[in-house]
Amino acid sequence: MAAAEQEKRTGKDVTSRNAPDIVAVAIVQARLLIVVAGVVFGFLYLSGLTSVEISIIGFFALAFGAVAQTYFAEDRRRRDVARAVADSQAAQSREGIGSVVLEQMQDAVVLLDGDGRIIYHNRSAERFIGLTATGKLIPSVLREPVLLDAIQRVRTGGAAEEIEYMSPVPVEHHYQAVITPAETAENDGSGTPTLLALHDVTDMKRVEQMRVDFVANASHELKTPLASLSGFIETLQGPAKDDADAQERFLGIMGEQATRMQRLIEDLLSLSRIELREHMPPRGTVSVSGLVKDVVDAIGPIAERDQVTIDVAMPDDLPMIRGDWDELLQVVQNLVDNAVKYGQSGGRVEISADRIDGLSDSSDGTCVELKVRDFGPGIPREQIPRLTERFYRIDVTTSRERGGTGLGLAIVKHILNRHNTELRCDSVVGEGATFSARFLAE
């Protein structure tokens, strides 16, 4: 039915399309029938039958031949119709598959006629550039001069072009555009039909910028202590060459700077290792109570020196959690170390853990929530989203004075990503800060 309707729409008929073939076959069959009839009549004549009998037999033979010829012609016509229907269905199937592919593409695809009017766009074009209907001229939809100029050059006979541009509204996005002549499209306009494909490269640009920032920050963090070391070495080789007191003081500072560089390099290597296996879920089981005990034993002397009390509160029946011991030890150590360093003015740090339901407010399952709270100056709300950025510090001077590298919370973030959870921070300026994470229980 679909094939017949298709033939009707295109003004063609299946039988008329194959008429020359049918006529040729009919002529061959007629000639063959005449030869066969002649042989039959000759045989009948020689067999001694009367002319009346021969006529009757000949009539039935001719009738049978005519029926056979009609049957063969009709069979050929049926096979031609079936072939035409199959060809039509295959073409429609290919067209349908192509349409599905275009609609499911993540890239925006727009087809323009010779006048620059939109005659087709896929769903991604609606999402990327807000297209809602065909028939509009492309300059009325797009406002990026660089892209419009490239489209115009291709429309007026130019070769295919590939460009990148930035769209500042409503939110800054970066796109890669490929503009090519659409040679197979119908052209009733003044220019060449054009195919436009847009690929969103915003995430790629963001990652590239992060890489540039990371290299710049790492270079800066290493450059500062190296410059300090170079200066002290030069002083020790010159004016302080014979000054024992100066040598002792300068060597102490040099040791601190060398230790700072060592911490930075260790954190960089640690971050790199964690990122490499971030996609691999941990398979071990970990005791949160054991983690907290080891961290408190390690940081306790530092907290005592800084006159900070560490209080621990957690139930005895806390379940085990899924995780990597070494990585989670690093998480707890970073959080408690930060609480002691930056919440020192509060004089107290609280570590707590408890059984809860759900990794998040909308999920199910038994979990263990770990919290580390300090009572220091707190963190301004606008700075909380940036805490896990590499080398980000709220107070650069204080952080460096206390041995911070600016990578601790970035490391925590990537470890928690591997453990299918996230770091949360609640803070009120003047009242301290609470960092927490939820882990799936075994």
Q: Encode pLDDT of 137-166 as tens digits.
A: 888 888 889 999 999 999 888 789 999 988
Residue 246, pLDDT > 70, answer yes
Residue 286, pLDDT > 90, answer yes
Residue (of 145, 150, 121) closest to 133 by Cα position: 121
Q: Of 212 and 82, which is predicted with more confidence?
A: 212
Looking at every residue in the chain, the average pLDDT score rounds to: 78
Considering the entire predicted model, what is its pTM?
0.57
- Is residue 176 within 8 A of residue 161, CB to CB? The reply is no
Stated length of the chain: 442
Our CA dihedral for 303, 307, 311, 312, rounded to 10 degrees, sits at: 10
- Is residue 139 within 8 A of residue 150, CB to CB? The reply is no
The CATH number assigned to the domain holding 189 equals 3.30.450.20
The CATH number assigned to the domain holding 432 equals 3.30.565.10
Say whether both 379 and 423 belong to one domain. yes
CA dist., res. 262 & res. 268, Å (int): 10
Say whether both 305 and 247 belong to one domain. no
- What tokens appear for 413 in the block? 């973030």
- Is residue 284 within 8 A of residue 325, CB to CB? The reply is yes
Pairing of strands 285-286, 309-313: unpaired
Strand order in the sheet with 194-200: 118-121, 108-112, 194-200, 173-181, 161-167
Element counts in the chain: helices (H) and strands (E)? 12, 12
The CA-atom distances, in angstroms, between 263 and each of 63, 259, 331, 403 are: 106, 6, 16, 8
Mean pLDDT of 84-90: 58
Q: Beta-carbon neighbour count of residue 157 at 10 Å? A: 9
Q: Beta-carbon neighbour count of residue 283 at 10 Å? A: 8
| Top mean-pLDDT range of 111-120, 185-194, 390-399 | 111-120
- Is residue 196 within 8 A of residue 112, CB to CB? The reply is yes
The CATH number assigned to the domain holding 258 equals 1.10.287.130
Which pLDDT score is estimated for 1? 43
Q: Beta-carbon neighbour count of residue 202 at 10 Å? A: 14
Say whether both 331 and 254 belong to one domain. no
Helix (H, G, I), strand (E, B) or coil at 399: helix
Q: Of 76 and 350, which is predicted with more confidence?
A: 350
Residue where a domain terminates, one of 78, 104, 130: 104
Say whether both 333 and 400 belong to one domain. yes
86: pLDDT confidence band, cut at 50, 70 and 90?
low
- Is residue 304 within 8 A of residue 339, CB to CB? The reply is no
Residue (of 429, 434, 413) closest to 371 by Cα position: 434
Q: What is the pLDDT of residues 235-244, one digit of tens each?
A: 888 888 888 8
Mean pLDDT of 223-228: 82
Say whether both 287 and 157 belong to one domain. no
Q: What is the pLDDT of residues 30-61, one digit of tens each?
A: 555 555 555 555 555 555 555 555 555 555 55
Mean pLDDT of 189-213: 83
Say whether both 234 and 366 belong to one domain. no
Say whether both 175 and 206 belong to one domain. no
CA dist., res. 87 & res. 6, Å (int): 11
Interior CA angle at 239 toward 234 and 240, to 5°?
A: 85
Residue where a domain terminates, one of 200, 232, 257: 200
Domain hosting 160: range is 108-200
- What tokens appear for 393 in the block? 């510090």
Number of domain units in the chain: 4
115: pLDDT confidence band, cut at 50, 70 and 90?
confident
Say whether both 152 and 73 belong to one domain. no
Say whether both 370 and 243 belong to one domain. no
Say whether both 92 and 235 belong to one domain. no
Which pLDDT score is estimated for 61? 55
Say whether both 308 and 373 belong to one domain. yes
Residue where a domain terminates, one of 85, 104, 123: 104
Q: What is the pLDDT of residues 389-402, one digit of tens each?
A: 888 877 766 666 66
Pairing of strands 108-112, 194-200: antiparallel
Mean pLDDT of 175-203: 81
Handedness of CA 168, 173, 176, 178 (dihedral sign): negative
Which pLDDT score is estimated for 361? 56
Residue bearing tokens 């006629």: 113
Say whether both 196 and 211 belong to one domain. no
Pairing of strands 194-200, 321-322: unpaired
Which pLDDT score is estimated for 66? 57
Q: What is the pLDDT of residues 67-85, one digit of tens each?
A: 555 655 655 665 665 666 5
What single-letter DSSP state applies at residue 320? P
